[in-house]
Amino acid sequence: MPSRGRGEGQGGASRPTKIEFVSPDVIVIGAGAIGTSTAYQLAKAGLKVMVLDRGRVGGEATGASAGMIQLNPDRGTPPAFSALGAESARLFTALAAELLERTGIDIGYRRASLLHVTLDEAEEAQLRAHRAWQVDQGMSVGWLDGAAAVDVEPALNPGVRAALLYEDHYQILPRVLAQALARAATDLGAAVLEGAAADRLLIQGDRVVGVAVGGETIRSPETVIANGTWASAWSNTLQTPIPVRPVRGQMVALSTSATPLRHAVSSNSGYVLTKADGSTIVGTTVEEVGFDARPTAAGIAGLLALASRLVPRLADATVLSAWAGLRPGTPDRLPLLGRPPGWDGIVLATGHFREGILLAPITGELVLDLVARRRPRLPLDAFDPGRFLVRAA
Ligand SMILES: Cc1cc2nc3c(=O)[nH]c(=O)nc-3n(C[C@H](O)[C@H](O)[C@H](O)COP(=O)(O)OP(=O)(O)OC[C@H]3O[C@@H](n4cnc5c(N)ncnc54)[C@H](O)[C@@H]3O)c2cc1C
């Protein structure tokens, strides 16, 4: 059974054996990027926070992710979502410095200008139209012909026909982000419990009043659901559809002694980038295979082929590891952020699909706004967890 503890383990979390008596102001279920960011913001605001994770801090989708932290919106992206992404990307600069200062942990926040390339003549027109729309929206996007693209990124396949250049893209080390947030929250008095599965929500009338964990109950005036793709499990208890589903993404890490890539290189089929730890990662697949987070032979083969197609010298790299994670997907690709209709004492913060690392800082701040019962700093209507209930009616 879990116990609270401070400052132990890699991420400032404890590997618990027994829960001592605690009465937190807020329980956060899930210690991925979303749960740890939320816990950090709540703890910074002076609230007593308990984070429960049935596994390890950053051990699921967060740890599996590439850690790119920019939205690449297109015509179909709702403006409210673009605003969320832009604000969260902006928050990372200060957050990275703050976490380094508080914890000594470097989350690997680095510029990783993105080159989105095409090797296909037919795709060129598509790329031009995409750029024209983005420029129209005020984004800064460069257009490079093949020779210019190879000039700025000499490792590229010389067959590249054209590329879009996004100078202002950044990346981080996502598992380290979650660990640093957990550590910072712990230092502010939060209890971050690993190996502590929330089994059941405690209900009193129309309020959630706590959580049952391994036969024990922890009471709390507020509970935040931040357990990623597993959040759908609370649908029945809350009598609200929480249509979050697992969408598997596979990744491969390569080691090469060659000069690191200057850019993150992406194409319509996936991406390659050099991380702050020196590895070159290749991603990713988008698969609907249920709760199966294992990489497959076909998935890995596809990624290796993509890597050497985009950057031919990677054919000589050695394979460090392969893994997969389950993104929390939703029917409209938007997160669920807010209180489920008719309920008090509970906030949902899940369904961040392919952007949960990017959106972690703003999500933490918005959940704090909701818990503090003040007006959220950005409009949340588009992310209302009740929207699926309305559609189902
Ligand atoms: C291959 C891949 C690449 C990606 N690349 C990017 C990227 O470049 N940029 C980006 O922004 N996003 C990216 N994403 C998406 C991003 O990883 C997710 O959106 C994000 O990690 C979701 O965070 P989360 O905290 O909601 O979920 P998770 O990280 O999955 O955390 C949920 C946590 O809840 C815990 N949990 C589950 N059930 C319970 C329970 N009952 N009780 C207690 N704990 C529980 C789990 O153990 C887990 O630790 C990528 C995802 C994948 C798979």
Separation between Cα atoms, residue 378 and residue 360, nearest integer Å: 14
Domain span at residue 217 reads 1-112+169-244+330-393
Q: Do 295 and 352 fall into the same domain?
A: no
Q: Which residue has the tokens 């703890």?
A: 43
pLDDT for 331-367, tens place per residue? 999 999 999 999 999 999 999 999 999 999 999 999 9
Q: Do 391 and 103 meet the contact criterion of CB atoms below 8 Å apart?
A: no
In a mutational test of the pocket of ligand 1, which residue from 34, 62, 70 has the highest number of ligand atoms less than 8 Å from its CB? 62
pLDDT of residue 7: 32
pLDDT of residue 252: 98
Q: Do 8 and 75 fall into the same domain?
A: yes
Q: Do 76 and 141 fall into the same domain?
A: no
Separation between Cα atoms, residue 119 and residue 146, nearest integer Å: 9
| Strand positions, DSSP E, the chain | 26-29, 49-53, 110-111, 114-118, 142-145, 162-166, 170-171, 191-194, 198-204, 207-213, 216-219, 222-225, 245-255, 264-267, 270-274, 280-283, 318-329, 336-338, 346-350
Q: What total of structural domains would you count in the chain?
A: 2
Asked whether residue 242 carries a pLDDT value surpassing 50, the answer given is: yes
Measured from the Cα of 33, ligand 1's closest atom is 25
| Ligand 1 centre distance from Cα of residue 229 (Å) | 7
Domain boundary among 328, 343, 367: 328
Q: Do 292 and 351 fall into the same domain?
A: no
Query: What is the rounded average pLDDT for all residues in the chain?
Result: 93
Give residue 70's pLDDT band: very low, low, confident or very high (50, 70, 90): confident
Nearest to 326 by CA among 283, 291, 285: 291
pLDDT of residue 13: 53
Q: Do 218 and 317 fall into the same domain?
A: no
In a mutational test of the pocket of ligand 1, which residue from 52, 53, 223, 238 has the highest number of ligand atoms less than 8 Å from its CB? 53
Separation between Cα atoms, residue 116 and residue 142, nearest integer Å: 10
pLDDT higher for 13 or 29? 29
Q: Do 158 and 182 fall into the same domain?
A: no
Q: Measured from the CB, is residue 31 less than 6 Å from ligand 1?
A: yes
Q: Are strands 114-118 and 207-213 parallel, antiparallel or unpaired?
A: unpaired
Q: Do 274 and 227 fall into the same domain?
A: no
Q: Are strands 49-53 and 110-111 parallel, antiparallel or unpaired?
A: unpaired
Asked whether residue 305 carries a pLDDT value surpassing 50, the answer given is: yes
Q: What percent of the chain has pLDDT over 90?
A: 89
In a mutational test of the pocket of ligand 1, which residue from 202, 327, 347, 383 has the highest number of ligand atoms less than 8 Å from its CB? 327
Distances in Å between the alpha carbon of 132 and those of 82, 126, 128, 156? 17, 10, 6, 24
Q: Do 104 and 12 fall into the same domain?
A: yes
Distances in Å between the alpha carbon of 247 and those of 10, 35, 226, 290, 353? 28, 19, 17, 7, 8
pLDDT for 165-185, tens place per residue? 999 999 999 999 999 999 999
Give the residue, by CA position, lying nearest to ligand 1 atom 12: 355
pLDDT of residue 276: 83
For range 53-77, the mean pLDDT: 95
Q: Do 265 and 115 meet the contact criterion of CB atoms below 8 Å apart?
A: yes
Asked whether residue 12 carries a pLDDT value surpassing 50, the answer given is: no
pLDDT of residue 284: 96
| Ligand 1 centre distance from Cα of residue 226 (Å) | 9
Between helices 360-371 and 33-44, what is the axis angle to 10°? 50
Q: Measured from the CB, is residue 227 less than 6 Å from ligand 1?
A: yes
* H-state helical runs in the chain: 33-44, 61-64, 79-103, 121-136, 146-152, 174-187, 235-238, 297-310, 360-371, 387-392
For range 71-80, the mean pLDDT: 92
Domain boundary among 328, 360, 378: 328
Q: Do 261 and 393 fall into the same domain?
A: no
Q: Measured from the CB, is residue 284 less than 6 Å from ligand 1?
A: yes
Asked whether residue 6 carries a pLDDT value surpassing 80, the answer given is: no
Burial of 291 (0-12, 13-18, 19+ CB in 10 A): exposed
Asked whether residue 133 carries a pLDDT value surpassing 60, the answer given is: yes
Q: Do 202 and 296 meet the contact criterion of CB atoms below 8 Å apart?
A: no
Q: Do 60 and 204 fall into the same domain?
A: yes
Q: Do 145 and 218 fall into the same domain?
A: no
For range 185-201, the mean pLDDT: 97
Asked whether residue 21 carries a pLDDT value surpassing 60, the answer given is: no
Q: Measured from the CB, is residue 287 less than 6 Å from ligand 1?
A: no
pLDDT of residue 10: 41
Asked whether residue 20 carries a pLDDT value surpassing 80, the answer given is: no
Q: Do 364 and 188 meet the contact criterion of CB atoms below 8 Å apart?
A: no
In a mutational test of the pocket of ligand 1, which residue from 54, 172, 353 has the highest number of ligand atoms less than 8 Å from its CB? 54
Asked whether residue 116 carries a pLDDT value surpassing 70, the answer given is: yes
Q: Measured from the CB, is residue 293 less than 6 Å from ligand 1?
A: no
pLDDT of residue 9: 37
CA atoms within 13 A on the CB side of 265: 29
Distances in Å between the alpha carbon of 314 and those of 5, 33, 121, 158, 214? 44, 30, 24, 14, 47
CATH of the domain at 140: 3.30.9.10
Q: Do 140 and 5 fall into the same domain?
A: no
pLDDT for 250-291, tens place per residue? 999 999 988 889 999 999 999 999 988 889 999 999 999 999
Separation between Cα atoms, residue 285 and residue 41, nearest integer Å: 32
pLDDT of residue 194: 98
Q: Note if the bond before 284 is cis, omega within 30 degrees.
A: yes
Domain boundary among 292, 309, 328: 328
**Cα 85 vs. chain centroid, distance in angstroms?**
12
For range 11-26, the mean pLDDT: 61
Separation between Cα atoms, residue 80 and residue 84, nearest integer Å: 6
Give the residue, by CA position, lying nearest to ligand 1 atom 41: 198
Which residues touch 242 (CB under 8 Å, ≥6 apart)?
225, 231, 232, 234, 235, 336, 340, 348, 350, 351, 385, 388
pLDDT of residue 14: 52
Q: Report residue 215 as tokens.
A: 């036969």
Q: Do 173 and 67 meet the contact criterion of CB atoms below 8 Å apart?
A: yes
Backbone Cα Rg of the chain? 21
CATH of the domain at 4: 3.50.50.60
For range 26-42, the mean pLDDT: 98
ipTM tops 0.90: yes
Give residue 66's pLDDT band: very low, low, confident or very high (50, 70, 90): very high
pLDDT of residue 1: 36
